[in-house]
Structure 1
């Protein structure tokens, strides 16, 4: 990484990262598993390889925009030299949950358990992204009046542009022939079933029974279209909600566990740590909102 191209804004109260913007021209920065307590958006200008994220791996190439939520594990296994720009921000600087109506990136760019965590950047969007990045660099260099508000505004435009792009590309895929791209109806029903029942039904067999299909057949279709097992989809949905509750509320870990269908708080904590590599309490302490709450 070229240190001169890094711009960092820290929280004056804690000294922790608020916002960071940097360029990179090698494979070193993301070649190991990342477990960050902030959001990461990586625009790969050049390079190709395999992205490993959560329970899956995906091919990536030039002009991919990758997006990861706090403590979402990922790494880039490059097959050619990488270059691009990374934008990282802490939830205390900008919370996608609190600003969902304005930005609508939650469930699209971030925390989308059914699609790959990236989008292809087209020429028009690339122009917008470059303009925003340059404006953010200028703002972080000058530290003018209302710097925070200006940076938040630029970040919102960046995220809205990326979210719209991902939605447009998914809609274009859905318009193609069903045999090639469109999800079978059973998978649309599976997504609805998980959304409606993930707090009470935690096994693949539960959902196969709901949809009147064998567990094996449903699992095979899910793996082809989502690149994940049903068990992994359920686990990811539970983790997304657990993270939201840990950040947005002052509920105890025990309360959150119970609401998500776990009577044993310690079993839930082990489940959470297995999937995020961090305990629920440590997530709360490092990600933000609830860090000062005494539970």
Structure 2
């Protein structure tokens, strides 16, 4: 066990032998830190939280009470193999959040980026790849093997089906079930999620140039009028001046086992 001298650990917390606790970490009352856990500088684990398994947490992340990080996957195919959970820096992981380690069949690593906000009661399943600045709102659940790119917001009580990809900057409305891939900067809403436009508010907040937004609007209209993949392939062959348009086209034409949510 390696505990930095500047770490503060409550007398009722359990830090098992083998854990690595970095500088300025704080471990609250009745928290449990497993023997294969590594906490970087400035991580705070509040009271009654559990961090276990082969779990790494990046600097400045805060884990709130009753969160459980690094437990084994909720997957009947899991047979106890050694897998990991890697969480980046400066995340806020709120009460009752669960994040599981990976599986051998999914690459072995569940990975969470930097600067995310994971609100109370949300779930990140095995082998998910979560980008930077992602927000999962209360009670949302991301099933196994999903890819959630940077700057995505998933609304409260929403569910993301296994193997789904959600492109950068997309937003998912509350109480929505997403069963197919979502293009970057897309807007999805409705109980059985459908693509209902672009995340214009998010684009404007990030200061995206008006010409780029206009190009994305034109792309969305073109994708609405014909076969989704064939239109994307034709537009890619023609070339695009907009970086944002190329990003969407590359996403559509990239490898995926699932279909896409298409414009209504």
Q: One fold, TM greater than 0.5?
A: no
- Greater percentage in helix: 1
What is the TM-score normalised by the length of structure 1?
0.28
The structure, 1 or 2, with the larger RCO (C-alpha pairs under 8 Å, 6+ apart) is: 1
Pick the structure with more strand per residue: 2
